[in-house]
């Protein structure tokens, strides 16, 4: 093996094994999934779709991709699945292309309130190609469906976008569909309904929250995060009339050859996510997240509360520091989190007033509810300076040492 890469990977393994991963968008795929992603499928070029490839020798690759499609459709209860997107961003790019013309209006959540870069950020392709308008959260930091209805009438968008990167509460997709349908009854522009479920895909797969596929025209997702698969994207729909448009928006419009080794990994992850073990896992993720949130609240920190796998900690209000500083302080004791804007944000995104905390990765390694509470105390003591960093770092290492090795995670 390349010795330089080997040393760097060893250092990264040591970092991950010795620390606590609380970045809400990160997780650990199973050993089986990782093995498949490094399989011989990595060597095959397969532009096109099963049965319609531009290269020969794809009979086995076709079978793998069809299996991934079927498992995704069964897992999420839909009639169409495209498993080729290299990422969630490319899945969103293709979904916009399938539904819209360049310059069409999109209504999405304001980015400081939890939207994603591809949901209209000024630095993203999305805002360069489409006309983005935004809706805000209510005063309580939750979706305000009456406000959304008013914004729909004001903007008259071609697409309404739901699904978020830093929203800690349940989303009523049924209600959103009702609001959009009511708007479409008196609008001269038809508004499509799109959901980016990247963060909550695992919760949806475990049937612990509403399934947006039942209500939206198109649903996009990543396959890592709560779903515990390899890094990649996914597009789902119950609208077969959109299938050809979506397929052509991925290939040949947005991508060339699909990553068939990653698609094989997705197939393994979809099978794992359909098991009772996965449901049990997701329940533990939700329980651990709430336990950490509630302990921080008990100790006086300002937290968002949670109904999913993540919550937001207002470090500016709680500790008088910005999110960038809080992220660095936690990293110095072995806890990895990320700075994040919050509802009512007053600082630029590069600093932010909060941090985002999630328990999908820690729970995969074996985090228990008592340990989640212990982690909350470590966060609080670190950010208040209540205890020496050396003692906190040793405690973090002690907790992480009791968990499973990141290179040996079976499902």
* Domain CATH code at residue 387: 3.90.1150.10
Q: What is the pLDDT confidence band of residue 410, given thresholds at 50, 70 and 90? A: confident
Task: Report the pLDDT averaged over residues 176-188.
Answer: 97
Q: Give the domain extent around 65.
A: 32-273
Closest residue by Cα to residue 396 from 17, 10, 1, 48: 17
Q: Which of 32, 44, 45, 110 is catalytic?
A: 45
The reply to whether 285 and 177 lie within a common domain is: no
Distances (CA, A) of 300 to 22, 52, 142, 331, 339: 20, 59, 21, 22, 20
Percent of the chain past pLDDT 70, that is, above it, reads 100
334-350: pLDDT as tens digits: 999 999 999 999 999 99
The reply to whether 250 and 350 lie within a common domain is: no
28 in catalytic set = no
Handedness of CA 163, 279, 210, 214 (dihedral sign): positive
Q: Answer with the one of 242, 273, 304 that is the final residue of a domain.
A: 273
188 in catalytic set = no
Q: Which of 222, 289, 306, 363 is catalytic?
A: 222
The reply to whether 106 and 185 lie within a common domain is: yes
pLDDT of residue 59: 98
Q: Which of 225, 266, 356, 365 is catalytic?
A: 225
Closest residue by Cα to residue 198 from 171, 177, 160: 171
Q: What is the pLDDT confidence band of residue 112, given thresholds at 50, 70 and 90? A: confident
24-82: pLDDT as tens digits: 999 999 999 999 999 999 999 999 999 999 999 999 999 999 999 999 999 999 999 99
Q: What is the pLDDT confidence band of residue 283, given thresholds at 50, 70 and 90? A: very high
Residue 306 lies in a domain: yes
Residue 170, pLDDT > 90, answer yes
The reply to whether 259 and 293 lie within a common domain is: no
Cα–Cα distance, 172 to 183 (Å, whole number):
17
Cβ atoms of 25 and 336 closer than 8 Å: no
**Would you state the structure tokens that stand for residue 57, as one six-digit string?**
């020798």
Q: Which of 31, 32, 44, 47 is catalytic?
A: 47
Q: Which helix (H) or strand (E) holds 74?
A: helix 59-76
> How does DSSP assign 175-186, residue by residue?
HHHHHHHHHHHH
Q: Could you give the residue ranges of the DSSP H alpha helices within 220-322?
A: 243-248, 260-273, 276-298, 315-319
Cβ-based burial of 375 (10 A; exposed 0-12, middle 13-18, buried ≥19): buried
Residue 113, pLDDT > 90, answer no
Q: Which of 231, 266, 271, 356 is catalytic?
A: 231
Percent of the chain past pLDDT 90, that is, above it, reads 97
47 in catalytic set = yes
Task: Report the pLDDT averaged over residues 118-145.
Answer: 94
222 in catalytic set = yes
Question: Of the given ranges (61-70, 105-114, 262-271, 331-340), which has the lowest mean pLDDT?
Answer: 105-114
pLDDT of residue 229: 98
206-219: pLDDT as tens digits: 999 999 999 999 99
Q: Answer with the one of 223, 251, 273 that is the final residue of a domain.
A: 273
231 in catalytic set = yes
Cα–Cα distance, 317 to 183 (Å, whole number):
39
130 in catalytic set = no
The reply to whether 390 and 293 lie within a common domain is: yes
Task: Report the pLDDT averaged over residues 247-253.
Answer: 98
Cα–Cα distance, 377 to 82 (Å, whole number):
43
Residue 111, pLDDT > 90, answer no
Cα–Cα distance, 401 to 221 (Å, whole number):
32
pLDDT of residue 275: 98
């Amino acid at each position: 093996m390349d010795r330089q890469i080997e040393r760097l990977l060893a250092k990264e393994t040591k970092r991950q094994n010795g620390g606590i991963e609380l970045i809400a968008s990160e997780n650990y795929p199973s050993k089986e999934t990782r093995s498949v992603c490094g399989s011989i499928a990595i060597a095959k070029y397969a532009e096109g779709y099963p049965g319609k490839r531009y290269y020969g020798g794809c009979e086995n690759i076709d079978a793998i991709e069809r299996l991934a499609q079927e498992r995704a459709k069964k897992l999420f209860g839909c009639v169409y699945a495209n498993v080729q997107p290299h990422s969630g961003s490319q899945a969103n790019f293709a979904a916009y292309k399938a539904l819209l013309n360049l310059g069409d209006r999109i209504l999405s959540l304001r980015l400081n309130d939890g939207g994603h870069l591809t949901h209209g950020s000024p630095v993203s392709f999305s805002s360069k190609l489409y006309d983005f308008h935004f809706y805000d959260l209510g005063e309580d930091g939750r979706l305000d469906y009456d406000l959304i209805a008013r914004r729909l009438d004001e903007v008259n968008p071609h697409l309404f976008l739901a699904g978020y990167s830093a929203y800690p509460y349940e989303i009523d997709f049924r209600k959103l569909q009702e609001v959009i349908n009511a708007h479409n009854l008196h609008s001269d522009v038809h508004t499509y309904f799109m959901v980016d479920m990247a963060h909550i895909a695992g919760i949806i797969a475990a049937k612990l929250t509403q399934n947006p596929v039942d209500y939206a025209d198109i649903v996009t997702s990543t396959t890592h995060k709560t779903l515990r698969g390899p890094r990649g994207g996914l597009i789902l729909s119950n609208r077969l009339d959109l299938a050809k448009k979506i397929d052509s928006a991925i290939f040949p419009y947005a991508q060339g050859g699909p990553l068939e080794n990653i698609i094989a990994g997705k197939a393994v992850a979809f099978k794992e996510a359909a098991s009772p073990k996965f449901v049990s896992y997701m329940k533990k993720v939700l329980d651990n997240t709430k336990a950490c949130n509630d302990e921080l609240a008990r100790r006086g920190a300002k937290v968002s509360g949670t109904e999913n796998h993540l919550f937001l900690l207002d470090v500016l209000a709680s500790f008088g520091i910005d999110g960038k500083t809080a992220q660095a302080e936690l990293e110095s004791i072995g806890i990895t989190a990320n700075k994040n804007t919050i509802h009512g944000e007053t600082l630029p995104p590069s600093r932010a007033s909060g941090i985002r905390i999630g328990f999908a990765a820690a729970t995969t390694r074996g985090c228990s509810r008592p340990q989640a509470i212990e982690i909350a105390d470590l966060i609080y003591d670190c950010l208040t300076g209540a205890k020496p960093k050396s003692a906190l770092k040793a405690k973090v290492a002690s907790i992480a040492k009791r968990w499973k090795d990141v290179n040996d995670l079976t499902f």
